[in-house]
Amino acid sequence: MSALSKITEGLVATESAAQPLPTDAEADLARESSRLLAACIGQGATAKLRVIDGDDDIVVPVRAMRLLVNILEQMGEGKGVIVLPIKAELTTQQAADFLNVSRPYLIGLLERGQIEFRKIGKHRRVCLENLVKFQAESRKKQEAALEELARQAQELGMGY
């Protein structure tokens, strides 16, 4: 799965090198928990969780449950996870890390208008939502280019 997992109701679960990785025992538990929780999620707008230490039921939006399943899946794969609001503003270094590019390359993208940003004094801030949009558009362009290359290779009889 890419750095961006799933967008769910204004939140993004992302992998992070800075986030401590789960232990093997935590990954095993997360894998099992995600499987069980995913099987329990109904089709309605809400679901109930019961915490064993208490007698109360906790009513949770299904979208939040799906986000929790996604987090557990990522942990089950041994990945650290951070949850951010989609409207979070990132520094240029954080934005570059998110896209897995260098900071100078990101600055070039910003200055060419390929990703929206705003300035606070002399500092640039990039909305996570804009990074997600740029990433999706870039992925579409890459896929289209690969399809075109494959088509050309077939036309030339290159055996692909």
- Mind listing the pLDDT tens digit for each residue in 48-91? 776 677 777 777 788 888 889 999 999 999 988 888 888 999 99
Cβ neighbours for 7, distance < 8 A, ≥ 6 positions apart: 86, 132
Instruction: Return the residue matching tokens 């990074």.
Output: 131
Confidence class of residue 36 from pLDDT cuts 50, 70 and 90? confident
- Mind listing the pLDDT tens digit for each residue in 107-128? 999 999 999 999 999 999 999 9
Give this prediction's pTM.
0.62
**In the chain, what are the domain boundaries?**
4-85, 89-155
| Number of other residues whose CB lies within 10 A of the CB of residue 125 | 15
Mean pLDDT, residues 35-45: 77
